[in-house]
Structure 1
Amino acid sequence: MNITIIAVGKLKEKFMKQGIEEYHKRMTTLANVKIMEVADEKTPDQLSEKEQEQVKDKEGERILAKIPQQAYVIVLDLKGEMLSSESLAEKLNHLALHGKSKVVFVIGGSLGISESVRRRADFLWSMSKLTFPHQLIRVIVMEQVYRAFQINRGSSYHK
């Protein structure tokens, strides 16, 4: 399976980079994993709603340009469906069994995701009702994808 994670902005914190590198290394025998960053827009504090939408639209255009046409797209979104780790494993297993070998996870910027990216999504996934820094979500997605593969292999990692 080919997994791509498209995320807005550069990862800055060393500990987050190390976490992603660790899970990326663990995934090498399980799937081909690629992480792609797209530039984020500058977001001054006092943006109007219209300006916020413009920022998300520009970031969304960059995201959409990176998504292969045949890919199954999972967008992280507060309005999405919450999944257990086992449900995510089931979903990935189902996709693999039904010929969906390219799966793209999309992580928006600090303002969220554009409507155009939401429309491109095959599935909207909400991690939690909690608010997380979008950079931390990258580490969590990597860990959950790794966990899903371990669940599907019958490994004890996920317990």
Structure 2
Amino acid sequence: MRVHICAVGRLRTGPERVLFDDYVTRFDRTGRAHGLGPATLIEVEDKKGGGMSAEATLLDRVIPQGAVLAVLDERGKEITSPEFADTLAGWRDAGRSDLALVIGGADGIAPELRARADFALSFGRMVWPHMLVRVMLAEQLYRAASILAGSPYHRV
């Protein structure tokens, strides 16, 4: 199952980019044998300042047709890492070939896009910088692949 991280804004060179790239590389290596990956980052930018609605339109254009649509949203479901791994495995085992994980901009995800989502995931009730959320998501993807592989990376 290909993973598309669809995000508003550009992740520039710096420590967040280094961490993100490292975890995506680890996910790709670990997930491949388990039917997960590759993971790609697709970035969109609303240069005209149209807000959440304009961002939703841009995101909608890059979400693959037929993909599982999962949004990262503070109102989403809080799950454990093993539950996240099971969720990914469930979509994979159901024959879903693409997963779009959507990260909104500073104001979040437009309600109309959020309403279409198959799943809403929360990293807690706190608000996180969307650039840092990319790193956290990439790490959780790697952790999920490691759990499914039986690797000792995830410890309870």
Match of 1:36 among 28, 31, 42: 42
For 1:58, what is the secondary structure of its paired residue? helix
Q: Shift of the alpha carbon at 1:130? A: 1.4
Per-residue Cα deviation, 1:45-68 (whole angstroms, up to 9, x for no partner): xxxxxxxxx510000000011111
Match among 58, 61, 64 for residue 62 of structure 1: 58
Q: Distance in 2 between matches of 1:155 and 1:70?
A: 31
Question: Which letter maps to 2:3?
Answer: I
Count of residues in Structure 1 that have an aligned counterpart in Structure 2: 149
**In 2, distance between residues paired with 1:41 and 1:115?**
20
Does structure 1 residue 136 correspond to structure 2 residue 132?
A: yes
Contact kept? 1:41, 1:58, Cα under 8 Å: no
Ranges in structure 2 where 5+ consecutive residues have no aligned partner: 32-36
1:148 is aligned to 2:144: yes
5+ residue gaps, structure 1: 44-53
Corresponding residue SS for 2:77:
strand
Higher Cα Rg: structure 1 or 2?
A: 1
TM-score, length basis structure 1: 0.89
Determine if contact 2:74/2:126 at 8 Å carries over to the other structure.
no
Dislocated runs of 4+, deviation >4 Å: none
Q: Secondary structure at the match of 2:128?
A: coil
Q: Deviations over 1:103-140 (max 9, x none)?
A: 11000000111012112210011111112101100000
